[in-house]
Each structure stands twice: as C-alpha cells, then as structure tokens.
Amino acid sequence: MLLTEQVRARFWAKVDVRGPDECWPWTASVDRDGYGRFTVGGRGVPQVGAHRFAFACENGPIDSSDVIRHACDNPPCCNPGHLSAGTHQDNADDKVARGRAPRMLGAAKLKPADVIEIRRTPGTLKALAQRFGVAKSTISMLRSGKTWGHLKA
C-alpha cells in the first residue's frame, strides 16, 4: 500500500476527525456494509477498506491475512484508536461476544426427536416439510444424512 504524504493527506481529508475517543467517520464512498472504500492509486488500482488504510497509517503494513477489527462496532470509523489487527476468528469471536452474530447454535427449527420421526415416517418431502414447517430441501438433506448425520433413526 502506497503511503506517501500526498496519499495520506487525500485520505484524511475524507475522514471527520473528532475527539480522540470518538468515532472518526469516513465521509466518502462506502460499501453495502457501511465500510469506507479508498482508492490509493489511480484508475484501475483496487480500493482498500478505509479502516485498513487508517490502521496502516498509524501502525505500518498489515499482513494480508489479517482483518482490522473495530472496537466501536462502527464500520465507517477510521479512528486508529478504535482499530486493531486480528484473525477472522478473532473478528467472529468479537461478533459473538457483542451479540451481533446470527444465532447459530440452538437455532434449528427441528429438534432431534423431529429428525428421527421424519426419517421413520413415510411421505413426500412436501408433506413432511409442511408438517414440520421447514423447506423440502431440509427434509431431503436430513433424510440423506447430509444434515443431522450424527442422529440415527
């Protein structure tokens, strides 16, 4: 990433720098998830995340496998004090700890007893799907063992 003074000045001109503990929102283009996008070079040069660029300005180069995490959970924030490098797993753990992760464990509509009953009950995928309030593909995958494979009927 090219970090000349000219590029840095162009970058920081697009950040609403506030107090040291406040979020510093990116004021230019953002992606669909609200993260700022910054073009470091000229035409044809890929954009980078504004938060990644802000972190690199303060801390130096970032390993390409690292993600830059927001302590503030505010995607457009570019305050280096709110940013830290980590792994994808660190980021996923942050989401869970902060209650922002989609419910995964325990979110199944079906219970183990339902799965066993579906596997033992004759009938069409459509009829069983309607009866249990799930998609036909759900019935198909559990009958074939692609899901709930640990349960035996």
Per-residue pLDDT of the chain (153 residues; tens, 9 = 90+): 567 899 999 999 999 999 999 999 999 999 999 999 999 887 788 899 999 999 999 999 999 889 999 999 999 999 999 999 999 989 888 887 887 766 554 456 788 888 889 999 998 999 998 988 888 988 998 888 888 887 776
At 14 the pLDDT is 97
> 12 Cβ partners below 8 Å, 6+ apart?
57
* 22 shares its domain with 65: yes
- Domains in the chain, number: 2
102 located within any domain: no
pLDDT at 44: 80
Q: How far is CA 21 from CA 75, 78, 82, 83, 124, in A?
A: 16, 12, 8, 12, 59
Establish if 151 belongs to a structural domain. Answer: no
**45 lies in the same domain as 82:** yes
Cα(104)–Cα(97) distance, integer angstroms: 14
What is the span of the domain harbouring residue 126? 112-144
What sign has the CA pseudo-torsion 49, 53, 54, 60?
A: positive
Would 33 be classed as within a structural domain?
A: yes
Q: Is the same domain home to 41 and 89?
A: yes
Neighbours of 38 (CB within 10 A): 22
Rounded Cα–Cα distance for residues 7 and 11 (Å):
6
